[in-house]
Structure formats: C-alpha cells, structure tokens
Chain A
Amino acid sequence: KNEVEQSPQNLTAQEGEFITINCSYSVGISALHWLQQHPGGGIVSLFMLSSGKKKHGRLIATINIQEKHSSLHITASHPRDSAVYICAVRSSNTGKLIFGQGTTLQVKP
C-alpha cells in the first residue's frame, strides 16, 4: 500500500462544477502540499498545510491531522483548471516529499 493515496485517479467535470480530490496518508508528517502539474510542464505549489483550511481564489484545501486526510476543492471549475493535481506529504526530519500518484482532471466547456 502506498504511503500517500489519492482519489480519484481520473476526473472529468463540466465547466462550473464543484470538484473534490481526496488524499490519505499513513506516515507522520510536518506538512502536506497540494501541487499542480500541466502536461509537459513543471510543478506549481498550490498549498502547504499543517492544519485546518486554506483558501486561494477558487481553490480550497483542508486537512484533518487526526484522520490523516486532506481534500482539495475547486469551486466553479474552468477548462483552464485541467491539469494533474498531486498530493505530497513532507517528512518532519528531512523535508523530503512523498507523493501521491496524482489525479488527472479534465474540465470540459
């Protein structure tokens, strides 16, 4: 079993829909990152969370430390949100990241 599990692996939505991507992890962490990767592109950090909830524009990220679970929500989705979204947990000792396998999101107009 992977230390970081994301669901779903693939997601297709219509423009305007509310989207949720889930992440569960099984190791101790100092922080959890949500990352975005476009095809052929580099990785962009969306959020870094150690507790609670963060919001940036149409994106919301939450984390429940006790349940070792995080969610990324996209409100009023748009085709430009189409990308791979990756959850990664950060080791408290080394700072290295352990990545989930990613969720491929396609938003259709």
Chain B
Amino acid sequence: DTGVSQDPRHKITKRGQNVTFRCDPISEHNRLYWYRQTLGQGPEFLTYFQNEAQLEKSRLLSDRFSAERPKGSFSTLEIQRTEQGDSAMYLCASSFTGVISGYTFGSGTRLTVV
C-alpha cells in the first residue's frame, strides 16, 4: 500500500469551470476525510465518509461542492462553477474506526482558479 494518493497534484482552471479531484485512501481504512487549506491557515474540515456513506458536511461546503465515495473505496470531490475563492490546497486523509488509529494524509491537490 502506497498510502493516501491524491490526483492531480496541481490544477489550474479558469473561473467558472468545473473541476474534479480524486483521493485513494489506504485500503483498510473505512473513513475518508476532505479538508481545505488556504494560504497561511490551518486546514478546515469539509466532509467525511464512513464506507460509502457521507456522514457530515461542513457549512464551508456550498452547493457548488459535491463529494462521493460510491464503493467505499476512492472518493471524488467536484467543484462546479469555480470561483477565485476556491483556490486552496484540498487535502484527503483516511483512518480506521473502532480503535484510536492513526491518520494518514495525502499530498493534496493544489487548485488555482484564474
């Protein structure tokens, strides 16, 4: 297992375009989290899945954002009609429930909206 993978690493898009990011968690992990980090700030929670169920969404996740984890494995985060304020690092992390297990982060997808 190579850890948590995120694709792409970088994305530059024009305002108004749609973008989709992918996260492949550690295979044994049943929880998957999305966070967003803007420059100079700590990450902020966006949403999380337990298996395929999306259990919590932050108020930061506007109607333009949607996340899926259809088979309880990889997840996608889509942003529609991107705005300049969406420019940030989007981080994915995974963990396992039941015991206090470690958290593993992906390298992130850096989105720049021009």
Proximity bits, B6-38, A CB within 8 Å = 1, else 0: 000000000000000000000000010101000
CA distance A50 to B73 in the complex (A): 28
Complex interface: chain B residues within 8 A of A86 (CB)? 42-43
- List which A37-57 residues lie within 8 A (CB) of chain B: 40-45, 48, 50
Q: Is the Cβ of A42 less than 8 Å from the Cβ of B107?
A: yes
- Prevailing SS type, chain A contact patch: strand
Chain B, interface size category, equals 20 to 34
B102 beta carbon closer than 8 Å to chain A: yes
Q: Is the Cβ of B100 less than 8 Å from the Cβ of A42?
A: no
Q: How many A-B residue pairs have CB under 8 A?
A: 58
Complex interface: chain A residues within 8 A of B31 (CB)? 95
Stretch from A14-22, A67-75, A99-107 at the B interface? A99-107
Q: Is the Cβ of B45 less than 8 Å from the Cβ of A97?
A: yes
Q: Is the Cβ of B107 less than 8 Å from the Cβ of A45?
A: no
Enumerate chain A interface residues (CB-CB to B < 8 A): 4, 30-31, 33, 35, 40-45, 48, 50, 86, 88, 90, 94-102
